[in-house]
Amino acid sequence: MKVKVLSGDHAVAYAVKMCNVDVIPNYPITPQTLIIEKLSDFVFDGECDATFMPADSEHSAMSMAIGAAATGVRTFTATASQGLALMHEMLYVAPQTRLPIVMANVNRSLGAGSGIWAEYNDSMPERESGWMQCYVEDAQEAFDTIVQAYRLCEDQRVMLPLMMCLDAFVLSHTVEKVLLPEQAEVDAFLPRFRPLNFLDTQNPKFINIAVTPAHSMEMRYQLDHLMRETSSVVDEVDALFGKHFGRSYGGSIQPYRMEDAEHALITLGTATSTARVAVDELRKEGKKVGLIKLKYIRPFPHEQLRKALRGVSSLGVFDRSIAVNGFGPVFTEVRNSCYGMGMPITNHIAGIGGRDLTVATFKGMFEKIMRKEGAGRDCFWHGLRGDM
C-alpha cells in the first residue's frame, strides 16, 4: 500500500492506469483536463500500456470509445458539462449495445449563464440514457469507485457503461491523502475483460443496426429490466471490494446515524461530508436526525432506500440541479421510490453554480424537515441572495 497526496482528478487517472485500460479516447475540457493530462503522462512514460487517442470533439471521443469497446477492449474516457452534452447522441448507443465503457464526468454548470463550478445539471439529464451513474464524495472514493466500476461493468450479468461523477474543483482539484493498493492487489480483484459481444473479422456481425417497431420496444424493455437487476450487483461488488481492500461504501447507499433517526436528509457528492457535520451537531442538541448518502442514481436503489427509511417520520432531499418548472431530479426519483410510505418529503435545492454549502445550510434544511413542512410547499431553495 502506498500513500500519495492527489487531487480527485489525479486519483481517477491513477485508478485507470492500475485497471490496465487498453484505449483512452479523449478531448480536454475544464475541469476534467487534469485526468487526461495525467493519463497522457503515464502513457508517454511507459507506465500505462494504452492507446491514447486525442479526438476533435467530445462527440468524437465517445464515438471512439464505442468503437474501441465494440472490439472487446477495456476503454476509458472523461468529460464535463458542455462536453457531456455534446456526447448526448452517442451516449445512447453504448448501453443498448452492452458496451462496458467507464467514464469520469466532472460536474460543472451547463448552458447560458454557466460557469466552471460544481452543479449536476450536466449529468442528471443523462440518467435516462441507460448508463449507470454514481456520485463520489472524496478522492479516495473516486479512486476506489473506478476500480469497482470495471469489475461491475464487465460482469457478464451487467455489461453496461458507467458514468462516475465528481464535483468540479471541490473534488477535482482539491488534494488529499489517497491510499493506493499494489498493482497485484488490483489485478487480483479485477479479472481480464471478457466481452459479451464484439466485432470479429473471423465472425462478422452487425452491431447497432436500425430496427423496426417489431423489435425496438422489446430492446428498451430488456435494457430497463437489466438496469433494475444491476442494483444487487452494485452492492455485491462493493462488498467484495471491502474484503479485498478494507474499504467499503455501502454499495448504492450509505446511511449515517440512521438507527433511531426520526428525520432524515438524502445527499450526494461532496456535500455529504458537510451534511454529516450538521447531523453530528444536531445530535448533540438531542435531535434525532440522520443522513443517507445516495451514491447511485442509476440503478436507483429502490429497495435499499425504502428499507433504510423505515421509522422515519419526515424526509428531505438535497438537489444540486433543477428541473425547470419542476422539482430537483433526485427529489423526483426519491418521491417516486418512497410513494406510499406516508412521510412528508421536501426538496432542498442548494449549491447551484458552485454556491457555497456550509454546515448552516444543512442545518437550515433539517429545520424545515423537522417541522414537517411541505404540506403546502414541497420545494425550498437555500442560500439565495436578496428577497426571493
- pLDDT, tens digit, for every residue of 162-175? 999 999 999 999 99
Mean pLDDT value of segment 361-376: 84
According to the model, what pLDDT value does residue 377 have?
Answer: 74
The pairs formed by 274-277 with CB atoms below 8 angstroms and a separation of 24 or more are 274/357, 274/358, 274/359, 274/361, 274/362, 275/318, 275/362, 277/359, 277/362
Backbone phi, psi, residue 135, to 5°? -125, 135
Q: Does residue 320 surpass a pLDDT of 80?
A: yes
According to the model, what pLDDT value does residue 373 have?
Answer: 61
Give the confidence band of 376 by pLDDT, cuts at 50, 70, 90. Answer: low
Cβ-count burial 69-87 (b if 16+ within 10 Å, e if not): bbebebbbbbbbbbbbbbb
Cα distance between residue 111 and residue 90, in whole Å? 20
Helix spans in the chain (H): 8-18, 33-44, 58-70, 82-91, 93-96, 139-153, 183-189, 213-245, 271-284, 302-308, 329-337, 359-370
Mean pLDDT value of segment 337-364: 95
According to the model, what pLDDT value does residue 201 have?
Answer: 85
Q: Does residue 387 surpass a pLDDT of 70?
A: no
End-to-end CA distance of the chain: 51
Sorted by where each starts, the structural domains of the chain and their CATH numbers stand as: 2-193+211-245 (3.40.50.970), 253-381 (3.40.50.920)
According to the model, what pLDDT value does residue 199 have?
Answer: 87
According to the model, what pLDDT value does residue 204 have?
Answer: 86
According to the model, what pLDDT value does residue 189 have?
Answer: 98
Angle at 61 between CA 56 and CA 67, to 5 degrees: 125
List the grid coordinates of 224: 430497463
According to the model, what pLDDT value does residue 101 have?
Answer: 98
Mean pLDDT value of segment 120-148: 97
Q: Does residue 315 surpass a pLDDT of 80?
A: yes
- Cβ atoms < 10 Å from Cβ of 228: 12
Q: What is the pTM of this model?
A: 0.96
